[in-house]
Amino acid sequence: MNAVTQGELLRALPYARRYARALTGSQARGDELVAQALRAGLPADVPGRLALYAGVSRRVAEQPGQRIPTRQRQILLLTGLEDLSMDDTAQVLDLSAEDTRAEAEAAREALRSIAATDIMVIEDEPIIAMDIRQLVESCGHNVVGIASDEAEAVEMARRLKPGLILADVNLGPGGDGISAVERILREQTTPVIFVTAYPERLLTAERLEPAFVISKPFEPIALQIATYQAVWGAAPVP
C-alpha cells in the first residue's frame, strides 16, 4: 500500500495540477490527468507526494514528432517547474539517477536549439519587468513589449500579436493580469504563462485557471521548459 498520507496528498494536489497542466497544455486536460491518476491508484513503489507525480507521469504516452521527447520534458518540468531533485525525479519516472541526469542534459541541449519566440510581458513593477526582460532574453527569446496595466496589455497584444504572453497575476492599481489575458484571448489565440508568488491560489480546479503557472522567483530553465510546452509541446490525455 502506498505510504502517501491524506495530508501529503492534499498539499501535493495543487502542484500535481500545475505539472499536469503544463504537460498537457490545458487546465481541463491536466486536471483530468490528475483525476485519472487518482482513480487508477498511485504507484506503491514511490513514497509520499512523489507518488502523485508518478501517477500522472506514467499515464502520458510518448508523442511522435516532438523535438524533445516526452520523458525528457517530464524531467525538465519536474526539476525546473516543480523543483524536485534529480534523485526524486528518477524515482518518479522509474529511472536510474544516471539515466535521469543524461536525459536532463540532452533535454537542456535541445532547448537551446529551439527557435526564439516573441514574448510580451505584462508586469507593473518596472524593476521586476527589467529583470524579466533580461531573463527572457538570456533564454534566447525576444521581448517585443512590456505592458504595465490591463488596458495597455490589451492594446499592445492587439498591435504586436506576440508568440507568447508572460503575465503577472497582480497588477496593483493597474488591474488584473488574468482579466487582461481573458480580454486578449477573446481576440487572438496566444499561449500564456502566468507568474505569481502564490501558485497554489491558481491551482484549485474550482474555476477557469491558467494552464501554465511559474512561481516567483523563477529560474531560466523553468521559463525555458514552460515556453516550449506552451508553444510546441502539449501532450494529449489518453
- The answer to whether residue 230 scores a pLDDT higher than 60 is yes
- Indicate the average pLDDT of the chain: 88
DSSP H or E run through 179: helix 177-185
**How much is the pTM?**
0.84
Read off the pLDDT of each residue in 215-222 and give the average, rounded to a whole number.
Answer: 84
54-76 pLDDT, tens digit per residue, is 999 999 877 777 788 999 999 99
Read off the pLDDT of each residue in 198-206 and give the average, rounded to a whole number.
Answer: 72
State the pLDDT at residue 216: 81
9-43 pLDDT, tens digit per residue, is 888 899 999 999 999 888 889 999 999 999 998 98
Read off the pLDDT of each residue in 44-49 and give the average, rounded to a whole number.
Answer: 87
Question: Beta strands 192-196 and 164-168: pairing type?
Answer: parallel
Task: Pull the grid cell for residue 34.
Answer: 490528475
DSSP label at 233? Answer: I
State the pLDDT at residue 206: 64
Residue 143: beta bridge partners? 119
At 157, is the secondary structure helix, strand, or coil? helix
Q: Which fold has domain 115-233?
A: Rossmann fold (3.40.50)
* Domain range list for the chain: 115-233
Residue 147: beta bridge partners? 122
- The answer to whether residue 207 scores a pLDDT higher than 70 is no
Q: Are 169 and 202 in contact (CB under 8 A)?
A: yes
- The answer to whether residue 121 scores a pLDDT higher than 70 is yes
In percent, the amount of the chain with pLDDT more than 90 equals 53
Task: Pull the grid cell for residue 124.
Answer: 507593473
Q: Is 172 buried (19+), middle (13-18) or exposed (0-12) by CB count in 10 A? A: exposed
State the pLDDT at residue 92: 96
Nearest to 53 by CA among 61, 63, 62, 43: 43
Least confident of 93-107, 137-151, 204-218: 204-218
